[in-house]
Amino acid sequence: MKKAYFNWSGGKDSALALYRALQSGEYEVSLLFSAVKKGDARLAMHETGVDLLKKQAASIGIPLVVWEWNPASPVEEYRAAMGRQVAQLREMGIETALFGDLYLEELRVHREKNCAASGMEAAFPLWGMGAEQVMGAFVASGFKGVVTCVDGAVLGEGFLGRAIDEEFLRDLPPGADICGENGEYHSFVFDGPIFQAPVPFRVSERGYREYPDPAGTGTHRFWHCRLA
């Protein structure tokens, strides 16, 4: 088996991809790796804090490595720092980086290029699965998750905090990717076949962030709920 680490977001794609990687028998997953915002100690967009990431890892039974980064740092500085971190994992004998990406080709090429620069192979356990197949497998496998962030241009605030189940998928509006692969929504998974026990959590606060619209027509709003 190849010794690997998993790039862990705590969300549905990560959970299902890790499950498939473990089931395949191809990988020995030595650790989970999460990059969080420095000073905030939360995953960007997902809004999941380090404490909950640690609880997930403890229930899964795989050690977690947390790497802090400054969102205000230049892209080149971020890439160099990340490269050094991946190189350290390679020195531990880890040869494969696992990702939960589904079908964004440009993103896959980007990850493969960055991993190769540190002597690491990139692998994608969910790659090639259709959106409906991915979500069908997630629900049928018994995973349980909640929505932690939604793009207000696509989904209403009412989707925030909802369970990811068949009803949720039916309620998504036309044009929305049911996997949220275009950023429509992000999630936190608290139970399923990779967990020894459910991860306890509660919604601590709700709010929104506004960013300049890429089209230059105003602001773009993301609704989010923080978990504790």
Nearest alpha carbon to residue 8 among 115, 80, 38, 46: 46
Q: How does the average pLDDT of the chain come out, rounded?
A: 92
Instruction: Kindly report the pTM of this predicted structure.
Output: 0.94
**Do 126 and 13 form a contact (C-beta atoms < 8 A)?**
yes
- Residue 108 CA to residue 120 CA, distance in Å, equals 14
In Å, how far are 28, 45, 52, 119, 204 from 93, measured between CA atoms? 11, 31, 27, 11, 39
Q: How much is the pLDDT for 216? A: 65
The H or E element spanning position 80 is helix 75-91
Q: What does CATH list as the number for 2-123?
A: 3.40.50.620
Which range among 38-52, 69-83, 153-167, 209-223 has the greatest average pLDDT? 153-167
pLDDT of residue 214 exceeding 70: no
pLDDT for the residue 60? 98
> 106: which 2 tokens?
């440009």
**Domain boundaries of the chain, sorted by first residue:** 2-123, 140-227
What pLDDT, on a 0 to 100 scale, did the predictor assign at position 209? 84
Which residue in the block uniquely carries the two structure tokens 């369970």?
A: 163
- 27-37 and 2-7 beta bridge pairing: parallel
Residue 221 has pLDDT above 70, yes or no: yes
Of residues 80 and 100, the one with the higher pLDDT is 100
Which residues make Cβ contacts (< 8 Å) with residue 119, sequence separation at least 6? 87, 90
Q: Where are the alpha helices (DSSP H) in 118-216?
A: 131-140, 166-171
User: pLDDT digit string (tens) for 50-82?
Assistant: 999 999 999 999 999 999 888 888 888 888 888
Q: What is the mean pLDDT of residues 167-174?
A: 96
